Structure 1
Amino acid sequence: MTGASVTSGWARSYANRPDATVRLFCFPYAGGTASLFRTWHTALPETIEPVAIQLPGRDDRFDEPPHERMDPLVTDLVEALTPLLDKPYALYGFSMGARVALALAHEVSYRGLPTPRRLFVASSAAPALRRPVRGWDEPEEGLVAYLRDLGGTPPELFDNPDLLELFLPSLRADLTVVGTCPVVQTTPLDVPIRAFAGEADAEAPPARMRDWAKETCAGFELTTLDGGHFFPEEETARMMEIIGADLRD
């Protein structure tokens, strides 16, 4: 790989792409892990290196306390990722990850660091709507009910109390990051944004994602996909085709 090496803590690359000309930093949904993006390199052009973000409090970082506030999370992310901004890059955030990616884009701009070529957001209602975040301040039963409503969680997780007990703390912490993050008036990013919305998503349907346009002065596009909050495999492939085309332009 040309340029800086991907770190083993926060950033994970699942493919050796020495000729990649752009990095795509991928931020998972609440409770998610870097492994969600482990096969993305198979659907993206060789010129794009997907780099998955592993947050504390899960998988091999399970012993580290998860963040519960946006500011310290973004501060740590900037410190970890700055060495990897040595080549053009883009940000992709799914659900909670979209809000983290947005905050990171503002922070690198504020610090005078290289800014992303594009910001891709999926399954996340626009910040300007100021919609309340479910689950983070509810009892465990409410948090589990929210998880069931979203869909996409393997049924065996709900049938295994021990696994559920291990998973819920990182999920609650991630939701708390977004639930306690104030939406303040900021200068729109000078970064193009493309949003992906599931047509049947009850949490972040296309109508609730259109206002992501308010977060940029550099162009906005909304792509509607089949499915709900989590996209079917074929629609995820379509999304990656679009991302690849955008980053080739």
Structure 2
Amino acid sequence: MSTRPAAGRCLVDLSAQDRLRRGASERAPRLRVLGCPPAGAAAGYWRFLVREDVHVLGVQYPGRESRFREPAAPSIEALAAEAAAAVAAAPWAPAVASPGAAADVPLVVLGHSMGAAVAAELASRLEHREGIRVALLALSAKTAPGAAEVAGAGAGTDEDLWAGLDPQAPGADEAMVRWLRRLGGTPEAVLEHPELLALQLPALRADLRASMAYGRLPAPVGAPLLLLRGTEDDTVDPAGLDAWRPVSTGPVQRREYPGGHHPFADHRDRLLGDLMACAAPGRSG
């Protein structure tokens, strides 16, 4: 017998948090974005997307922030299953599931790096098991399972990454720091602070192991597919990203943004504009 987690357990309403900080009134959103963060990151990774007309929710994986004491999830599928149950329990879910509700707020499932695998699984579960319509599936900076990694940079070929996966191995933390520094996106204050690093590395390693073990695509969704990458991101090439194409029976579009592995914080409005345009009914690839 399965239990459904409360929506607040693994879904963090970043827009509501922002309104509370600013004392702002609630505004009807034009778009609802459900963000799956990369390995080692928490739901707050997507805080930069918060805007008055966008409802942003982050998936909170176990083993970090408010869920720090919980054991890490064993697989990508487990992360997606928990998040799907939480979405189904959310107060806005019935409207998304109602057929013919054209005026409802479009739901975008967005995943970055490891989060792209979670997002693909999550969107599939929402459509096929929960009856919840996804307006757009957006996947970023992750080679699809079964596709060849980029030589010298992908998760399967980076020596520092492999050397850093086993916390008991000599020099493992130092190797992981070198890998994170090359990847970008982790504050230098964390990388240079042993206590902060010790808090982050267990969740990061667990996420990376789950990501590496993920080996097959989920059942395809009918939603359009948007594929995203940074122009200078050497961890994924266009062919590896394009290998996600079978996860959707809808139109496919691609966008590139200036920057490396984590390019979106500097291009928030452009990213939101692309998500809104690609989630619009009748949009063709």
Query: With structure 1 as the length reference, what TM-score do the two structures score?
Result: 0.85
In the alignment, which residue of structure 2 is the partner of 1:150?
A: 183
The total of aligned residue pairs comes to 240
**Contact map agreement 2:12 2:60 (CA 8 A) in 1:** yes
Match of 1:86 in 2: 94
- Separation in 1, partners of 2:197, 2:265: 25
1:107 to partner: Cα distance: 2.1
Give structure 1 stretches of 5+ with no counterpart. 1-5
- How far off is 1:14 after superposition? 2.6
1:216 is aligned to 248
2:32 maps to 1:23: yes
Per-residue CA deviations over 1:188-209 (Å, capped at 9, x if unaligned) read: 3222110111111010233432
- 1:73 CA displacement: 2.1
Does the Cα contact within 8 Å between 1:119 and 1:193 map onto a contact in 2?
Answer: yes
Q: Which residue of 1 aligns with 2:73?
A: 67
Q: What secondary structure does 1:51 align onto?
A: strand
- 2:136 touches 2:224 (CA, 8 Å); kept in 1? yes
- 1:56 corresponds in structure 2 to 62
Residue equivalent to 1:3: none
Measured after TM superposition, the shift of residue 218 of structure 1 is: 0.5
CA deviation map 1:185-233 (0-9, x unaligned): x553222110111111010233432222232220101101111101164
Note the aligned Cα RMSD (angstroms): 2.4
For the Cα contact (< 8 Å) 1:121–1:195, is it kept in 2?
A: yes
Q: Distance in 1 between matches of 2:121 and 2:148?
A: 15
In structure 1, distance between residues paired with 2:259 and 2:12: 28
- Partner of 2:243: helix, strand, or coil? helix
Query: 1:235, 1:127 → 2: CA distance?
Result: 28
Shift of the alpha carbon at 1:27? 0.8
Assess if the C-alpha contact under 8 Å between 2:111 and 2:117 holds in 1: yes
Q: Per-residue CA shift, 1:35-93, capped at 9, x if unaligned?
A: 12224222xx62x3111111111112111112131232222222222123223322010
TM-score, normalised with respect to structure 2: 0.75
**Which among 228, 253, 257 is matched to residue 196 of structure 1?**
228
Q: What is the aligned partner in structure 1 of residue 208 from structure 2?
A: 175
Q: Which runs of 5+ in 2 are unaligned?
A: 1-5, 17-25, 97-106
What does 1:92-241 align with in structure 2 at a 5 Å threshold? Answer: 92-129=110-147, 131=149, 133-134=155-156, 135=161, 137-138=165-166, 139=169, 140=172, 141-183=174-216, 187-231=219-263, 233-241=265-273
Contact 2:155–2:235 (CA<8 Å) still a contact in 1? no
Relative distance call for 1:113 and 1:51 in structure 2 (3 A) is: same
Q: Is the 8 A contact 1:98 1:124 kept in 2?
A: yes
